[in-house]
Amino acid sequence: MTPPEITDSHCHIDYDVFADEMPEMIGRAAEAGVTRMVTICTRLRELPKIRAIAEAHAPVFFAAGTHPMNAADEPMATVDELIAAAAHPKFVGVGETGLDYHYTAESADMQQASLRVHIDAARQTGLPLIIHSRDADDDMARILAEEHSNGAYSCVMHCFSSGAELARAALDLGFYLSMSGITAFPRSTELREIFAAAPIDRILLETDAPYLAPPPYRGKRNEPAYTAHTARAAAETFGMDYAAFAAQTQQNFDRLFTKAASWKAVAA
């Protein structure tokens, strides 16, 4: 029986751990129902490598930006640079960008400046912003709201594991929350409650591979196929049949990542 189709909205399959088995890994994903994946470039100088992967494999799309933990080590991205990259037909999102005060609080000012550049690029391209946020809830909520008042843009809070207040702030702006393997961990009860209170039409799925593998693979290398394990646990969180939940998340992804949805229609 063919499993319901789902999308891994955030992974890093350009990492060397996948280099020798890319076709096999994509095949395993397809067998699990994961028919699309968005691989994320976190340093713009690595963009050619990520772009080549997307060009070589039909199910793979890509996004690019400067990860907040790299903000102090990389040249500041420019809006024009991001807009130029977005011209590629499989470039579907801006980021990941954001704030990380857990590991790199000392570069907070640079992270905030970089975040605003990426927001401007998302606004101008019409592509969704992909946000990483860790231990920076107050500043993140403030900047997202300030920038939204300057001009609307769309956004997903990738691998959301922050507090309920940031979740509400993002949802109030019309943004999306993405469920990673963390939401399937036994001790993530509070996080599951945050998601369960969110509108079902604002939920995405992801792996963040090779990180954060869900049970039963926790502690091992993650890969796009394992999105299905996160999705099955997530369906239980929402009290939904798995097929119905999978279909809803596909609709959500298509609504937010319109360029990926359009590309699929053309390719078919």
* Residue 238 in domain: yes
138 assigned binding-site residue: no
CATH of the domain at 118: 3.20.20.140
Does residue 99 register a pLDDT over 70? yes
12 assigned binding-site residue: yes
- Written as one string, the DSSP assignment of 8-50 is EEEE-TTSGGGTT-HHHHHHHHHHTTEEEEEEEESSGGGHHHH
Does residue 206 register a pLDDT over 90? yes
Q: How many domains does the chain have?
A: 1
* Residue 2 in domain: no
Q: Find the domain containing 242 and state its range.
A: 10-261
* Residue 28 in domain: yes
Q: What is the pLDDT of residues 144-200, one digit of tens each?
A: 999 999 999 999 999 999 999 999 999 999 999 999 999 999 999 999 999 999 999
* Residue 107 in domain: yes
* Residue 144 in domain: yes
* Residue 18 in domain: yes
Q: How many other CB atoms are there within 10 angstroms of residue 220's CB atom?
A: 10
Q: What is the pLDDT of residues 40-92, one digit of tens each?
A: 999 999 999 999 999 999 999 999 999 999 999 999 999 999 999 999 999 99
Does residue 110 register a pLDDT over 70? yes
Kindly give, in sequence order, each residue whose CB lies less than 8 Å from that of residue 158, ignoring residues fewer than 6 positions away: 9, 10, 95, 96, 130, 131, 132, 178, 180, 206, 208
- Output the CA–CA distances (angstroms, integers) from residue 25 to 36, 59, 185, 258, in the order listed: 12, 12, 23, 25
Q: What is the pLDDT of residues 151-167, one digit of tens each?
A: 999 999 999 999 999 99
Nearest CA-CA partner of 33 in 53, 75, 62, 4 = 4
Kindly give, in sequence order, each residue whose CB lies less than 8 Å from that of residue 134, ignoring residues fewer than 6 positions away: 99, 100, 101, 102, 103, 161, 162
158 assigned binding-site residue: yes
Q: What is the pLDDT of residues 235-255, one digit of tens each?
A: 999 999 999 999 999 999 999
10 assigned binding-site residue: yes
* Residue 266 in domain: no
* Residue 123 in domain: yes
